[in-house]
């Protein structure tokens, strides 16, 4: 089995749907490091052979009880739009970068209706991979 070493997943671009024009508007571009699922047992740079999962988004109440959609980055640039308190449509461009090879960029559409149920069900959240570039 072939493995790629030192792989780290990044968000490279965030766009929001403009409700008036119905078009995507870029709101951020750069590199924001995401964490691996079960980050407490994995280093930020991981050797990948079998599949691995990244924590891309979470929905729930913040410390004040306000419901939000959160992009859980490990290292967050100052201007990165990490939290959304209103319903939103986002388009994230993500890519895993490794020592030997990088993955293709993936465009992932996130729709959040602004809701969350107390039992932890992330109602109103849909995630769809649109394409590979």
Residue 61 CA to residue 54 CA, distance in Å, equals 21
The label of the residue with tokens 């951020």 reads 28
* Residue 80 within a domain: yes
* Residue 38 within a domain: yes
**105 within 8 A of 95, measured Cβ to Cβ:** yes
Residue 106 CA to residue 94 CA, distance in Å, equals 5
pLDDT digits 0-9 by tens, 48-59: 777 778 889 988
Decide if pLDDT at 18 tops 60: yes
* Residue 84 within a domain: yes
* Residue 5 within a domain: no
* Residue 1 within a domain: no
Report the number of distinct structural domains present in the chain.
Answer: 1
* Residue 2 within a domain: no
pLDDT digits 0-9 by tens, 66-104: 888 999 999 889 999 999 999 999 999 999 888 888 889
Contacts with 82 (C-beta within 8 Å, 6 or more apart), sequence order = 70, 71, 73, 76
Give 65's pLDDT tier (boundaries 50, 70, 90): confident
Decide if pLDDT at 43 tops 80: no
φ and ψ at residue 129, rounded to 5 degrees: -80, 120
What is the reported pLDDT for 120? 58
Tokens linked to 60: 């729930």
pTM for this entry: 0.85
* Residue 67 within a domain: yes
* Residue 116 within a domain: yes
Residue 114 CA to residue 126 CA, distance in Å, equals 11
What is the domain extent for residue 16?
Answer: 11-45+52-132
């Amino acid at each position: 089995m072939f493995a790629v070493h030192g792989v780290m997943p990044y968000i490279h671009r965030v766009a929001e749907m403009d409700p008036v024009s119905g078009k995507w508007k870029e709101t951020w571009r750069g590199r924001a490091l995401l964490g691996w699922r079960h980050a407490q047992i994995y280093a930020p740079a991981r050797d990948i052979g079998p599949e691995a999962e990244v924590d891309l988004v979470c929905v729930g109440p913040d410390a004040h009880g306000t419901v939000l959609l959160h992009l859980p980055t490990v290292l967050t640039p100052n201007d990165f739009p990490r939290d959304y308190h209103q319903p939103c449509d986002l388009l994230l461009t993500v890519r895993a970068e490794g020592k030997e090879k990088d993955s293709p960029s993936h465009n992932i559409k996130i729709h959040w209706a602004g809701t969350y149920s107390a039992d932890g069900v992330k109602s109103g959240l849909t995630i769809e991979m649109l394409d590979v570039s």
